[in-house]
Amino acid sequence: MKELKTEVEADVLQRIVELVGSDVRTLSNELNKLSAAALPSGKITMSLVEALVGRSRELMNWTSRSDARPESAARVAGAGAIAR
């Protein structure tokens, strides 16, 4: 963060990784974007992260869970129809 002349708390940095994932290129892009948005103070805040960082990893995890087991989804859908 010194190179970007930006300050960030550990919990905020952890949230960035949760949202983005561990891909170095994506993390670098997001940190560059956040650093620019943090001007003039140079401090990346949680509210800035929540407003600007994409949620692609969270969405991919949700999608992969539901897509990974189509038979499970069909079973749940069938059980829901029976329960009605």
Q: What is the pTM of this model?
A: 0.63
When the pLDDT of each residue in the chain is averaged and rounded to a whole number, the result is 76
Domain boundaries, given as residue ranges, for the chain: 7-83
In this prediction, residues 50-56 reach a mean pLDDT of 81
Q: What is the pLDDT of residues 9-44, one digit of tens each?
A: 999 999 999 999 889 999 999 999 999 999 999 999
Is 37:8 a contact under the CB 8 Å cutoff? no
Q: How many CB atoms lie within 10 A of CB 20?
A: 21
Question: Which of 34, 25, 32 lies closest to 52, judged by CA?
Answer: 34
DSSP state of 43: E
